[in-house]
Structure 1
Amino acid sequence: MSDDDLWESIDRLQDWLVSTQPARPPQETLFLRMLKLSEEVGEVAEAVIGATGQNPRKGVSHTWDDVQAELCDVIITAAVALRTVSPEARDVFATHLARVTDRSLEP
């Protein structure tokens, strides 16, 4: 998938959410997107705990494929949240990624 396809998909998901959910004030919509992101991060934690068998009641209840899928859900949800904040999400993300990369990989 190209970068264009990725952000086109994010735009389509954002449009779908807007069209299928009740109209809310913009700040409430943003708040709910942030809550959804927290929910998805919790599902990553649950999958890691399940993949490593750290819950004695459940044992090994997830696979590392489940962890990967949940991490993907976090990325998608974060991108949709960013798109909710800014119609220029693609550029905002690219600029931020370049800044973090430069800062992190400097000698």
Structure 2
Amino acid sequence: MNDSTWTTVDQLKQWLDDKDGVAPETARLMRILKLQEELGEVAEAVMGAMGTNPRKGASHTWDDVESEVCDVILSGMVLLATLTPDAGKKFDERLSIIAERSLA
């Protein structure tokens, strides 16, 4: 990821901080819950794309699934930026560890 991505994430985090009006401890918890909410939306979209919910049928497309996955990633990035001011560095370090372990 490039620096402008993390700059945008930091701006979104700051926007949320300014708008939600909760203590930092509560903001962390709410952003963890938001990540879980977004994961649920991925599951709903997958079931809708596969038409496996008898009540709703084919209610989503795979494009919807892709969009929901992006929402999960973005929510995770905002959460990471909430947990540490060095989110980009932390992410890059973790990516390197996982890539080295998996691709070696």
TM-score range, shorter chain: over 0.9
Identity %: 48
1:10 corresponding residue in structure 2: 9
Return the match for 2:32 from 21, 31, 34: 34
1:83 corresponding residue in structure 2: 81
> After the TM superposition, which parts of structure 1 deviate over 4 Å for at least 4 consecutive aligned residues?
none
2:69 corresponding residue in structure 1: 71
Q: How many residues align?
A: 104
CA RMSD across the alignment: 0.9
CA deviations on 1:34-86 (whole Å, 9 max, x unpaired) are 00000000000000000000001111000011000000000000000000000
- Cα displacement (A) at 1:4: 1.4
Q: Is the 8 A contact 2:31 2:79 kept in 1?
A: yes
Residue 2 of structure 2 aligns to which amino acid in structure 1? Answer: D
Give 5+ residue unaligned stretches, structure 1: none
TM-score, scaled relative to structure 2: 0.96
Q: Structure 2: how far apart are the matches of 1:15 and 1:28?
A: 15
Q: Structure 2: how far apart are the matches of 1:28 and 1:98?
A: 31
Q: Structure 1: how far apart are the matches of 2:3 and 2:25?
A: 28
- Cα displacement (A) at 1:25: 2.5
TM-score, scaled relative to structure 1: 0.94
